Amino acid sequence: MDPSSGNHHLSSRLKETTRIEGLFNQLAKHYDLINRVLSWGIDQRWRKKLSAQLIITSPNMKLLDIATGTGDQIISLCKTHAAINSAIGIDLSENMLNIGRKKVKQRNLSSIIQLRKGNATHLPFNNNTVDIVSCSFGLRNIDDLPLALSEIRRVLKPGGQLLILEFSLPKNKVIKGMYLGYFRYILPVLGNLFSSHPDAYTYLNRSVEQFPYGIVFADMLRDHQYTSVKVIPLSFGISTIYTAQKLKRD
């Protein structure tokens, strides 16, 4: 293989990572509002449903939340499950993390939750050290999804749980048509009201449409040697929960 092709791929990934980091740094102030708009106001309910999928296997569990954003999911999981006594959230955007840190402090969770800058394709953790990995509305923004899934599997303990919440597209043609119309035509207009970076809303729309949701993503998890894969559509398929485990004997 030509070494230059590998260098080109790495360079492209770095550029994309930098672009995403800059995008979310600019959107941080309005990010929570963006999620309410994208989800029609029910994203917090979805996060609670994801938290309810966790199976407690130990009185002392370690959680890693990827693309943690402003911290809503990591907070939900820690509030729901007292068995989580150590939680780390990582994100590319320092501006998003700063908002999340304020939330953590306000909810008196600073002794449990730490938020750090980090990339899902290069997790700063040793092999087999994490009980749970979660990711809500962030997986579609990762520049190399297969690499991220491999990294997640590496850091999970045998039998460890993966919990994912991500936007998807409804199967019903009428609802899907309405939702795509909302994404493609109404959301960019709303973006102009919320932000000086309206192109970001076009990106968010495209990232949802391009994500390999449903059975396709479930098969991708299985291809990366996850087991017990479940797909749980929410709100007519506007979003989907995915749960999986790392093999107990890897």
Tokens of 164: 């994912």
Contact 118, 130 (CB under 8 A): no
pLDDT, position 24: 76
Q: Name the one residue in this structure whose structure tokens are 């092709």.
A: 5
> Given this structure, which CATH class describes domain 3-246?
alpha beta
pLDDT, position 98: 96
Residues 6 or more apart in contact with residue 85 via CB below 8 angstroms: 60, 61, 62, 112
- Strand duo 226-234 + 84-91: pairing: unpaired
pLDDT, position 199: 65
Please tell me what DSSP assigns to residue 140: G
One-letter amino acid for residue 102 of the chain: K
* The length of the chain, given as a count of residues: 250
Please tell me what DSSP assigns to residue 92: S
Tokens of 200: 């970001």
pLDDT, position 200: 67
Tokens of 67: 């693309």
Low-confidence stretches of the chain (pLDDT < 70) are 1-15, 35, 38, 191-192, 194-201, 250
123 SS3 class: coil
Contact 170, 238 (CB under 8 A): yes
